[in-house]
Structure 1
Amino acid sequence: MTENPEQRSRTMRAVRSKETGAELKVRRALRAMGETGYRLHRTDLPGTPDVAFIGRRKAIFVHGCFWHGHDCKRGSRTPKTNRDYWVAKVARNAQRDRESISALEALGWDVLVIWECELREPETISHRLSEFLLQEK
């Protein structure tokens, strides 16, 4: 069954940019590790990281595979309708992500990107988070 434009518009408006399921999973993993001293969605930092450890200068972005152009099955999928718009939109998102990460690194921050598809393996994510937070500059 295909959606009409009104249904599609309603669906797209419902997509959240904050407090997503993927982001909540990462935060749950951080709390399980005993990590609590982080801040969320810091608009004073380039790219507004989803999670920021200010004192440690560490930022975590939790990216949806489709929206940020990951090379996994879901991320490489292109909508059948309005294809040119979506290809350009995802490309702009990916470019903005690269610029944000570069800007943070130029300010002396370490950056970790966690993709939505990676969250299927909680042990792997916990290990990556732990390594990231323990690594020294």
Structure 2
Amino acid sequence: MGDAAGRGGADAVAARSYVLGRLALVTARFDEAADLLDAAWHHREPGLAADVAEQLAWLHLLTGDPAGAARWARRALDEPIQSAIARPRDVLALVSPASADPEEGGLAAAVAWLGRGEPERACDVLRHVVTEAGGPG
């Protein structure tokens, strides 16, 4: 068993909820993922908070809440990263400054523009995100 599970307490609850929430998210069980990830955030420990917030960002993006996705992505970036895994570029892309709306950014803004029936603006945002990430411009 891992360190958190061996110690017990709130950190074990957070770790278990995070892992189960992440599994629920990737299998499109969004309500279950929301409950589990919310529990992980509530019982969070410093080394896990950034990862929980990142998963909550993806949950909000996948369920059609781009503003919520951007909010959680910002929280993920604000939390210290204490794991051995570096923050992936995709979460940075969620809150890229490539947006006409200051409350949204990056991929979250692209989803918002699509939802507003403006695919051209969504494509412009995505082009900017890819260019910032070092992809083809």
Return the structure number with greater relative CO, CA threshold 8 A, min gap 6: 1
More helix by share: 2
Q: TM-score, normalised by structure 2?
A: 0.30
More strand by share: 1
Q: TM-score, normalised by structure 1?
A: 0.30
